Amino acid sequence: MNKTRRLLFPALITIGLTSLVAGDLPAEEDGGPVYLMKITGAIGPVASGFYIETLRRAEADMAECLIVELDTPGGLDTSMRDAIKEMMASEVPTVMFVHPGGSRAASAGAFMVLAAHVAAMAPGTNVGAAHPVQLGGGQADSTMASKIENDAAAYIKSIAEKKGRNVRWAEDAVRKSISSTAEEALEEGVIDLVSESLATLLDDLEGMEVETAYGTRTLEVKGSEIERVQMGAKRRFLSAIADPNIAYILMMLGFFGLFFELSNPGAIFPAVVGSICIIIAFFALHTLSANYAGVALIILGMIMFLLEIKVTSYGALTIGAVISMILGSVFLFDYPTTLLRISWSVIIPAVAAITAFFLFAVGKALRVQKRKPTTGVPGLLDKIGEARTDIDASGGTVYVAGEHWTAVSDVTIAKGRKVRITQVDRQGVKVVPL
């Protein structure tokens, strides 16, 4: 028994120490989740904010990477740069995936693809056409246009150099607006992968080494949980109103609401709806970097329409208002890309409806002004009444419009005859026999 105890005691001590040491060692952790989000449409403050918010969530969750399914015709320079700055400073790699087939990464989208830690495209997609345009409306002169182009070219070259991509192609995308298919982009060293689907992309990413702001990182995405991030209700609403056509319609509705309230004080409802629409519209205009010369022209047009009701201009104010409205609508978002411009199918019906409404209102106002008065003393002229007494030059009594009036006549009118009022003064009325 003693011998057995002497043999077991060292063994138990060894097992205990081994367990203690093993308990102090960190357990092998599974890889983090893979975050997945989509950016479709123009890259503006809403899309940029959604990307930055998702990237920060991925960092907090220690994600392996963030995959962005991208399909964009371009967007605002400031929004693109905000997203790229956040991307380059993050420890979570961003994988830009131009997907599905038929998608594109044009203009600002091309910058974001080149800036990604991993750039991937699906077959049937294209990237490029990154020549900058003058944002905020108006046409830049040759000097300013050259400055904008050189700035964009330097920026995209610095991105390509940092990410080890084709610098010459990047510069040509800005200066010559070249665009490449997925296969061409891969061959020219613009992107890293061509993947058929998300599943194929995950297989291709496994074991890939990427350089982040925090050093080299090896992607271990095999078997990782896919965390799909959807845009919240607030951002969906902001994204919906950050459409030039929606912002334009909201502004028109706001002006109409305020007009009805000013025309009929105390109605309340038009003022409430109009004020809300105006505030939301101006938020959208600010978000879209609208040209406020266009806003001023639209407001001027509305003022001229209102003046047409009060001032007789024989149509001059209406013509000026229509011209001002059309010019303001065109200048409001003066972007070459149709996605960031107001559609003519919205401008023409809106201006036509406003013009028709005010012409109708002006016509009604003119008819009211020309119509004979029906109440008060002027309203008695040409009224038909009945002689209640004999009427002559010395006087008499006539019943007209529910009242008895003192009446005179140049001829004698017998009691009971119908008479017509020809003149009204302080002493009474002058009548003639009917």
Active site residue ranges: 107, 147
Q: Minimal CA–CA distance to 115: which of 156, 168, 166?
A: 156
In degrees, rounded to 5, the angle at the alpha carbon of residue 322 between the alpha carbons of residues 316 and 324 is 100
Would you say 255 and 274 are in contact if contact means Cβ atoms under 8 Å apart? yes
d(CA 333, CA 346): 13
Would you say 89 and 59 are in contact if contact means Cβ atoms under 8 Å apart? no
d(CA 288, CA 281): 10
User: Hey, what's the torsion of the CAs at 267, 273, 274, 277, to 10 degrees?
Assistant: 180
Would you say 35 and 57 are in contact if contact means Cβ atoms under 8 Å apart? yes
CA distances from 339 to 216, 295, 336 (A): 39, 19, 9
Helix (H, G, I), strand (E, B) or coil at 159: helix
d(CA 168, CA 153): 10
d(CA 111, CA 220): 26
DSSP E strands, 288-408: 384-387, 396-400, 403-408
Would you say 12 and 204 are in contact if contact means Cβ atoms under 8 Å apart? no
d(CA 319, CA 255): 19
DSSP 136: T
CB atoms within 10 A of CB 235: 16
d(CA 284, CA 242): 5
Return the percent helix, strand and coil in the chain, to nearest 5. Answer: 50, 20, 30
User: H/E element holding 68?
Assistant: strand 65-71
Q: Directed axis angle between helix 233-241 and helix 45-60, to 10°?
A: 160
d(CA 326, CA 352): 10
